[in-house]
Structure 1
Amino acid sequence: METPVEEVGADLDEFYASERPRILVVEDDQDTAFLLKQILRHAGFDVLSASNGKEALNKVNLSFPDLIVLDLMMPEMDGWETVERLREVSNIPIIVVTALTNKDNVVTCLQKGVDDYMTKPFYKAEVVARVNAVLRRSKSNREGNRFVFPQIGLAIDTQTREVRLRNTRIQLTGKEFGVLLMLAKHAPEIVHYQKIAQGVWGRDFPQARQRIKYLVYLLRQKFEEVDPTFAERIINIDRLGYKLNTGEESASF
């Protein structure tokens, strides 16, 4: 009897630490998906794929792609619904690549928030050029929406809600992100409990202080997995609130 071969797990820290733009290809046709992935890989992008909208939404939440290449005609959840669902939670750039050539489809896609539209068959050079163009526009549109603290390796994108610590992406809930953003916006000043509550919930209320303390506890736990010293950066000021100790002024760009 042959001894089963153990599969070696992937080092996801290495994968997620990449500085290359990450592209998610959403396409149910395997041959087309393979071709798009090969084109993008050879152009220097990191790529992953999904065969339908449901799978795409899961991968967006897990892998934080910089751009999505999306087919419209797919099983389970088609491209139209996928775009609507994505735009409810994210501004990730989307390029539609489809066999549908009707101009009305183009207009509808743009109205739903798609950034560009390509028809099949496509050409390698055109795919790469359009991806690069959309990424450039996206980067330009995000200027002024980021807080970067180089001395502690923290970067916060207010548009995509992406948070990185020492080049590692940290996945936060909406309320956790809200607390962190309030501290980042006002760093290195003290942010009073009332101001945090107003920023996160839109109002102050009796239980706000305890909820803020719990959210800070969760933030520290998540960040300490990457940097064990990060707990010292979110400082509690007794009876007043919190401040983010960055060792320098924030740089917004």
Structure 2
Amino acid sequence: MEELTSKEVKQEVSSGIGVDLDQVDGQERQRILVIDDEADTSYLLKQILRIAGYNVLSAANGAEAIKKTMEYSPNLILLDIMMPEMDGWQTFEYLKRMTNVPVIVVSALTSKDHIVDGLRQGIDDYIPKPFYNAEVIERVNAVLRRTNRPQEITRLVFPSVGLTIDLINQEVELLGNSIRLTPKEFSVLSVLAKNAPAIVPYEKISHLVWGEDSSDVRKRTKYLIYLLRQKFDKISSGSQLILNVDRLGYKLQTEN
């Protein structure tokens, strides 16, 4: 297979190949997240992967990548290193805390030291830029065959506000400080976090946390929200992480 230009890739895209998850939420094929701040590179990688039969989605920075990882649980991530604000290594550190999804670095940093350092940090492979299209596919296939592990999001991470929620151990950290929550407090917070940044209706919270909806249940939820705010406020005064949207529900504030 010869290397294709971006224009040639566009000509090969048809309705019979993998789905672009930025446009349609396809779920059956394996999902690959491309993280790169260069739009042309991101587009080219996505189309190469679609032609190979994968569903794809992209993120232009680390914060967007973390959000999409939580939302879509990709089977594999292709990660650029030189990105503004949150670089690839910082993004990788957050991703490692969240999930065991395999990561292939695709970077213009091609020195042996960079490659070895990346492998030591736990990445699954390293593809130098400029890349050959066929090599990208073969390396993707090889990593997926080798890892062959179920992908599970074990932590929800919101770097903009310094919040980490461990779904397995039911542990919460805010700005590096551990917060002890009761099981019901954790249930309310996890419902808001899993749906962030969307507003979660009162009725939905009631059913997910208590299994029913009534005025008494909503009062209990309101009290739990009050307790959560008090605990957050002890660490970050006036943080307002949980917002009440009048007559609609609550939402977790995940951006400063």
Query: Into which bin does the TM-score normalised by the smaller protein fall?
Result: 0.5 to 0.7
- Cα 1:125–1:90, aligned 2, differ >3 Å: closer, same or farther? same
The CA RMSD measured in Å over matched residues stands at: 3.3
Q: Which amino acid aligns with 1:56?
A: A
8 Å CA contact 1:83–1:113 kept in 2: the answer is no
8 Å CA contact 2:36–2:80 kept in 1: the answer is yes
Identity %: 51
Distance in 2, matches of 1:212 and 1:57, equals 21
**3-state SS of 2:29 partner:** coil
Q: Which amino acid aligns with 2:82?
A: M
**Mapping for residues 160-171 of structure 1, pairs under 5 Å:** 160-161=152-153
1:61 corresponds in structure 2 to 70
Cα deviations across residues 201-226 of structure 1 (Å, max 9, x unaligned)? xxxxxx87x889999xx8x849x9xx
**3-state SS of 1:24 partner:** strand
Q: Which of 120, 126, 139 pairs up with 2:129?
A: 120
8 Å CA contact 2:73–2:152 kept in 1: the answer is no
Distance in 2, matches of 1:120 and 1:19, equals 30
- Cα 1:20–1:104, aligned 2, differ >3 Å: closer, same or farther? same
Q: Which amino acid aligns with 1:96?
A: V
2:147 corresponds in structure 1 to 138
8 Å CA contact 1:90–1:160 kept in 2: the answer is yes
1:102 corresponds in structure 2 to 111
Q: Which runs of 5+ in 2 are unaligned?
A: 1-20, 155-164, 171-181, 191-204, 212-256
8 Å CA contact 1:54–1:76 kept in 2: the answer is no
Deviation at 1:18, TM superposition (A): 2.3
Cα deviations across residues 84-127 of structure 1 (Å, max 9, x unaligned)? 11112211100001111111111111111100001011111101
8 Å CA contact 1:83–1:112 kept in 2: the answer is no
- Cα 1:212–1:29, aligned 2, differ >3 Å: closer, same or farther? closer
2:60 corresponds in structure 1 to 51
Cα deviations across residues 39-78 of structure 1 (Å, max 9, x unaligned)? 0011101111111111111111111111000110001111
Distance in 1, matches of 2:137 and 2:60, equals 21
Q: Which runs of 5+ in 1 are unaligned?
A: 1-11, 143-156, 163-172, 180-206, 225-253
Output the TM-score relative to the length of structure 1.
Answer: 0.53
Distance in 2, matches of 1:122 and 1:52, equals 21
Deviation at 1:178, TM superposition (A): 6.2
Instruction: Note if 1:18 corresponds to 2:10.
Output: no
Structure 1 runs, 4 residues or longer, greater than 6 Å off: 210-215
- Cα 1:213–1:76, aligned 2, differ >3 Å: closer, same or farther? closer
Output the TM-score relative to the length of structure 2.
Answer: 0.52
Q: Which of 100, 109, 113 pairs up with 1:91?
A: 100
Distance in 1, matches of 2:79 and 2:26, equals 25
8 Å CA contact 1:69–1:97 kept in 2: the answer is yes
Instruction: Note if 1:80 corresponds to 2:100.
Output: no
8 Å CA contact 2:35–2:42 kept in 1: the answer is yes
Cα deviations across residues 154-203 of structure 1 (Å, max 9, x unaligned)? xxx5x6248xxxxxxxxxx745x569xxxxxxxxxxxxxxxxxxxxxxxx
